[in-house]
Amino acid sequence: MDSQAIATHPDHTHAGHEHPPYLRHHFATVEQQRETSSFGMWLFLLTEIMFFGGMFAAYMIYRNWYYPAFVAGSHQLSIVLGTINTAVLICSSFTMAMGVYSAEMRRKSALVMWLLATIVLGVVFLGIKADEYHEKWEKHHVPGLNFSVQDFVRVNPAYPEDKALPLDMAEKTQVYFSLYFAMTGMHALHMIIGISILIGLVIKAQAGAYTQGHMTTIENFGLYWHFVDIVWIFLFPLLYLISRHQ
Amino acid sequence: MSEPTHHEQHIVSPKLYGVIFLLLMICTALTVGASYLELGTFNAVVALGIAIFKATIVVLFFMHVKYSSKLTKLTVAAGFFTFCVLLAMTLTDYMSRAWGRW
């Protein structure tokens, strides 16, 4: 925020040119400033694509290698909880988009309300995720901490048509659960970071920071939040859905 | 001095956000429903197809890429392309090393 301080410094002379206080001096126009910061945000999201991309690539390879273990592992997840969480996250993307719209319309109380709704939905998502993690812990499905192959060397009562896995393949369900925890855990960490930032945004929005024409921060945070939603849009079918009933 | 990049702010209406939201919800219901059908290999194809569609409308409308500058569009496309390179090159390596055993 240093450059912001420079741009709005009272001692700074503005002889000969008038511009809004939020336009920093190294930009020619507000449009250019907006475009630059949006470009920077997208570059950051590109690094995020590659970060999650590495895990998606690992998932793809291991799923092909240990397919029966991935089927058995995915049968341990709750489709109902996964679907509810997907819906919750889509709702939170909608409330975030409406937050951006409210900032564009310069409606302060609406902006604060939509941002708060986004926080609530984010927390609901994390709560359901925590419940799922807790169930994994109780069933001894956490690789490296309390893993047991017991559930995989016998027939899963919920899927009586499945065959029990031989011991070596049952061990490989750990690969599935490692990827499950790595991918959903990294996604959850992004949600936690997002919610923390949102709390700061609500406080600043309440003070009127984003409803006086300068709302790049809200726009860019919206991009981040939607990106995290997109990661889940792929995690949900890959982890919960595509190995079912086969 | 060259002209600064033109990036006029386009405000997406709440109505359009609502339509996208409904589409996303319908697609979620569809993908869950399709997972209960026995489609063989096509279970994965259908699920990923729906996921790609959902991601596309989020990027275009919630993330405003449809109304963004060419620079932003190019950046997004570059990210998608690089990710495809990651998957394609990795698969090329793994598949050619265990040829015929996939």
Do B44 and B73 belong to one domain? no
Give the count of domains, chain B: 2
CB A56 within 8 A of CB A231: no
* Confidence class for position A14, pLDDT limits 50, 70, 90: low
What is the average per-residue pLDDT within A132-150?
Answer: 93
Per residue in A71-90, pLDDT (tens digit) is 999 999 999 999 999 999 99
CB A141 within 8 A of CB A177: yes
Interface contact flag, A245 B87, Cβ < 8 Å:
no
Say yes or no: A53 contacts chain B, CB-CB below 8 A: yes
Interface contact flag, B94 A226, Cβ < 8 Å:
no
Do B81 and B58 belong to one domain? no
Residue B27 inside a domain? The answer is: yes
**Chain A residue nearest residue B62, CA to CA:** A97
Say yes or no: A155 contacts chain B, CB-CB below 8 A: no
DSSP string, A114-147: HHHHHHHHHHHHHHHHHHHHHHHHHTT--TTTS-
Do B56 and B71 belong to one domain? no
Do B17 and B58 belong to one domain? yes
The rounded distance, in Å, linking the Cα atoms of B91 and A42 is 27
CB nearest to B71's CB, from A28, A35, A241: A35
* Confidence class for position A219, pLDDT limits 50, 70, 90: very high
- Contact residues for A14 (Cβ-Cβ < 8 A; gap 6+): none
CB nearest to B55's CB, from A32, A38, A233: A233
Report which residue type is found at A41. Answer: M
Fold for the domain defined by A44-241: Four Helix Bundle (Hemerythrin (Met), subunit A) (1.20.120)
Do B36 and B52 belong to one domain? yes
Residue B102 inside a domain? The answer is: no
For residue B23, the enclosing domain spans 13-63
Tell the residue number behind the tokens 């390596």, with chain if given.
Answer: B93
Per residue in B48-57, pLDDT (tens digit) is 999 999 999 9
CB B60 within 8 A of CB A27: no
Among A35, A37, A43, which would you mutate to test the B interface (most chain B Cβ atoms within 10 Å of its Cβ)? A35
